[in-house]
Amino acid sequence: MESTEALIDCQSVWKVFGDRSDEAIRAIAERDLTKQDILRQYNCVVGVSNASLQVRRGEIFCIMGLSGSGKSTLIRLLNRLIEPSLGRIMVKGRDIAALDAAELRQMRARHIGMVFQSVALLPQRTVLENAAFGLEVQGVPRDQRNRAAEAALAKVGLSDWKARFPAELSGGMQQRVGLARALTSDPEIILMDEPFSALDPLIRRQLQDEFRQLTKDLGKSAVFITHDLDEAIRIGDRIAIMKDGIIIQTGTAEEIVVNPADQYVADFVAGISRLHLIRAHSVMQPLVRWQGVTDGLPRCSPDADIDALIGLITSTGSDAVAVEEGGRLLGIVTIRDLLLGVRGETEARAA
Amino acid sequence: MEELVSAFDAQVDNALFWLADHASFVFDFCRLVLEGLYAGVLGLLMLPPFYVIAALAGLLAWRVLGLVPGVVTAAALALCAAMMLWPETMSTLALVIAATVIALATGLPLGVLAGLLPRLEKLLTPALDLVQTLPPYIYLLPSIALLGYGPATALIATVIVAMPPAIRLTALGIRQTPREFIELGHATGVTPLQMFLKIRLPFAVPSIMAGVNQSLMMAFGMVVIAGIVGSGGLGETIYGAIRTLDIATSINASIAIVVLTMVLDRVTQAAARTK
């Protein structure tokens, strides 16, 4: 299922805002300049700085950062709502900077859906007409586009609301319509720009799970922007953490929590529950360091999470769990390892 | 300084005379078109007897405003006929309709362009400021020099006064499309024409309708003033009554004007709100 093909390939992309951005870009290309240097010397703001990322087919890729980190700029570079200052962005193998106006419209209409934080449902149109907007723009006949829109609304559970106007819907329902609108044109890539940030926590959780399920079921790829690390972990297959326009770290939730790239990321992940995030293979110690016998120990797979290991230990009364794969012992997880794991420290780091 | 001013005045006079002498065919043509339009609308309004028009207006007011306003509208128009001012009322209405149609036919497209092109708006704004600050009588003078005494002159002056609000409010409506919807359009892959028709225009409709209503009201004000240049209608009735100090007639005509203004204002405002 996991394919390594990169649907979106962002190569050393920069975005610099300001009247003298051309000069600033030339200077960046020639010598190493920091964001502060560029602001001081050229009075230009660096939105995105030397960002590289690949989004694979079928993957949900989260970009996490606080406000001002450049994440909203970065996602708008992917469908060229913002033109990059430097670097290359390949979408489905095509350099999107090289597309002419008509090709770019085609690309956006057919291959890249987008969902906004503000939802942006047209208030004069019904839910159905909003959901069908993308196909209407492409000139698809009314019957056909309404059928597609109804199918998309059914997927987000809003079939009964198609004749209503956006103002009659709650915030969560409106965002569902936003998602249905993006799905109606059946694009391969969906860009989600902080879609759930304005919703209350319970609804947000529910939509996160629905979104992940739906995206996986339909085999879509998504880039999901958020300022909430919990959300990124819940939704993303991989996560990129941004600060000051720079991608500090890219990896799975577990990689980031276990091995934060710097203090900033470490502070961020400090409050995250490790129970379902960290797996046996990250906390186990090598067999050679285990002095006791392994025969009577309960067994688990390397992918078992800490929560499962705690369950094993408490139910069997054992001091340790043996990790095995395909009948071969890989290592041992002691209670100490588990406790360190819960705190986000592995044996190697603690020692 | 004095010489300079009189030289300037002489130039303006000469230019006007030159236009009247050499471009008369243009103005004759304008006059023909304007009077034709006016006569057409008036002919239509005078075709049925007054009670049919009053009933139709009442029906329209009933549809958009409710039963009571509908009845009041019909009764108020019947009152105009009872005051023996029906032909004058209808010719004023015809003038207003003709002037507003011309003002909107030019003002709405201009407003759209100004809303889309900030440079054009920068150019138009001082011109509109000037038109709106000058006393409206001013427009009667050059018009009368070029088009002569009669409804055509009244129409042109009325159009000049009625156009600015339509331009301004249309431009405002087109300009103030919320940013997130412009972004939605781009991200969906709309063509520039679709961006205008499907996104900018629907958001501009309330503002445009306010502009239409404002134009109509300005046209009303000016049509009455234009009685001085022989516009015909209630304006001329009032002007005549003032000259002969016929207070009763001037009050009757004023009542008729108030009736017409109120009906058109309320009906167009309600129509703007419902759409």
Would you call B39 an interface residue with chain A, using a CB distance cutoff of 8 Å?
Answer: no
Structure tokens at A121: 């449902």
- Per-residue confidence at B274, pLDDT binned at 50, 70, 90? low
Phi, psi of B222 (to 5 degrees): -75, -35
Residues with Cβ within 8 Å of B77's Cβ and at least 6 positions away in sequence, in order, are: B50, B53, B54, B57, B58, B89, B259, B263
Neighbours of A262 (CB within 10 A): 11
**Count of Cβ atoms closer than 10 Å to residue A38 Cβ:** 24
**Position B165 confidence tier, pLDDT thresholds 50, 70, 90:** very high
Residue type, B137: Y
* Partner-chain contact A133 B188, CB within 8 Å: yes
| Cα four-point dihedral sign B82, B83, B87, B89 | negative
Per-residue tokens: A92: 């489905």
Q: Do B188 and A109 touch (CB under 8 A)?
A: yes
Please give the C-alpha separations between residue A125 and each of A81, A299, A334, in angstroms, as whole numbers. Answer: 24, 59, 61
3-class state of residue A110 by DSSP: helix
Interchain contact, B183 vs A105, CB within 8 Å: no
Instruction: Return the bridge partners of A191, or none.
Output: A114, A223
Q: Give every CB contact of residue A29 below 8 A, 6+ residues apart in sequence.
A: A86
DSSP B121-190: HHHHHHHHHHHHHS-GGGGHHHHHHHH-SSHHHHHHHHHHHHHHHHHHHHHHHHHT--HHHHHHHHHHT-
Average pLDDT over chain A, rounded to an integer: 89
**DSSP state letter for B216:** H
Give the number of residues written for chain A. Answer: 351
In this structure, are residues A245 and A35 in contact, taking their beta carbons and an 8 Å threshold? yes
Q: Model's pTM, two decimal places?
A: 0.81
Q: Which of A289-293, B70-74, B198-202 has the lowest mean pLDDT?
A: A289-293
Mean pLDDT calculated for residue range A228-246: 92
Are A311 and A276 within 8 A, CB to CB? no
Report in angstroms the alpha-carbon separations of A348 from A274, A278, A324, A331.
17, 15, 20, 14
Question: Which of A81, A110, A138 is the closest to B187 by Cβ?
Answer: A81
Contacts of B199 in chain A (CB under 8 A): 122
Average pLDDT over residues A63-88: 92
**Tokens standing for A103?**
């090709």
Quickly state the pLDDT bin for A2 (edges 50, 70, 90): very low
Give per-residue burial for A303-337: e unless 16+ CB within 10 Å, then b. ebbbebbbebbeeeeeebbbbbeeeeebbbbbeeb
Residue at token pair 């340790």: A320
d(CA B106, CA B162): 11
Residue of chain A whose alpha carbon sits nearest to that of B190: A137
Burial B101-124 (b: 16+ CB within 10 A, else e): bbbbeebbebbbbbbbeeeebeeb
DSSP classification of residue A160:
G
What six digits make up the tokens of A144? 């056909």
Instruction: Give the mean model confidence (pLDDT) for residues A3-13.
Output: 82
> To 5 degrees, how large is the angle CA A308–CA A312–CA A317?
150
pLDDT in tens, A170-201: 989 999 999 999 999 999 999 999 999 888 88
Smallest Cβ–Cβ distance between A108 and the set B189, B194, B202 belongs to B189
B193 at interface of A, judged by CB pairs closer than 8 A: no
Q: What is the ipTM of this complex?
A: 0.84
Q: Pick the closest to residue B213 from B103, B55, B91 (CA basis).
A: B103
Of A110, A137, A191, the CB nearest to B190: A137
Q: Which of A189, A12, A183, A185 is nearest to A92 (CA)?
A: A189
pLDDT grade for A23, boundaries at 50, 70 and 90 = confident
Q: In sequence order, what are the beta bridge partners of A322?
A: A299, A332
Q: Compute the average pLDDT of residues A75-89.
A: 92
CA distance A304 to chain B (A): 42
Instruction: Please indicate whether residue B231 or residue A12 has the higher confidence score (pLDDT).
Output: A12
pLDDT of residue A346: 60
The alpha carbon dihedral of B35, B40, B44, B49 has a sign of positive
Please state the rounded mean pLDDT for residues A203-229. 92
To the nearest whole number, what is the mean pLDDT of chain B? 90
How would residue A342 be classed by pLDDT, with cut points 50, 70 and 90? confident
**Would you call B194 an interface residue with chain A, using a CB distance cutoff of 8 Å?**
yes
User: Where does residue A291 rank: exposed (0-12), middle (13-18), buried (19+ CB within 10 A)?
Assistant: exposed
For residue A108, list chain B residues with Cβ-Cβ distance below 8 A. 186-189
Q: Is the pLDDT of residue B164 over 80?
A: yes
Confidence band for A1, pLDDT divided at 50, 70 and 90: very low
Taking alpha carbons only, the member of A228, A221, A284, A285 closest to residue A253 is A228
C-alpha–C-alpha distance, residues A105 and B26, integer Å? 47
Q: Which residue has the tokens 């990790």?
A: A323
CA distance A115 to A60: 14
Residue B203: pLDDT band (50, 70, 90) is very high
pLDDT one-digit tens code per residue, B69-120: 999 999 999 999 999 999 999 999 999 999 999 999 999 999 999 999 999 9
Measured CA to CA in angstroms, residue A131 lies from A174, A234, B274 at distances of: 11, 26, 24
Q: What letters, b where the CB count within 10 A reaches 16 and e where it falls short, cover B251-273?
A: ebbebbbebbbebbebbbbbbbe
Say if residue A347's pLDDT is above 70: no
- Check B187 against A114: CB less than 8 A apart: yes
Q: What does R_g of chain A's alpha carbons equal in angstroms?
A: 24
DSSP state string for A298-319? -EE-TT-BHHHHHHHHHHH--S
Partner-chain contact B191 A114, CB within 8 Å: no
Which of B178, B183, B188 lies closest to A134 in CB terms? B188
Burial per residue of A21-37, b for 16 or more beta-carbon CB atoms within 10 angstroms, e otherwise: beebbebbeeeebebee
What pLDDT was estimated at residue A130?
Answer: 95
A137 to chain B, any CB pair closer than 8 A? The answer is yes
- pLDDT tens for each residue of A262-287: 999 988 888 788 888 888 888 888 88
Cβ contact (<8 Å) for B181 and A120? yes
The proportion of chain A whose per-residue pLDDT surpasses 90, expressed as a percent, equals 52
- Taking CA atoms, A65 is separated from A15, A85, A208, A220, A260, in Å, by 17, 21, 18, 23, 15
Provide mean pLDDT across the span A36-50: 88
Burial of A121 (0-12, 13-18, 19+ CB in 10 A): buried
Residue A112 and residue A45 in contact, taking contact as beta carbons nearer than 8 Å: no
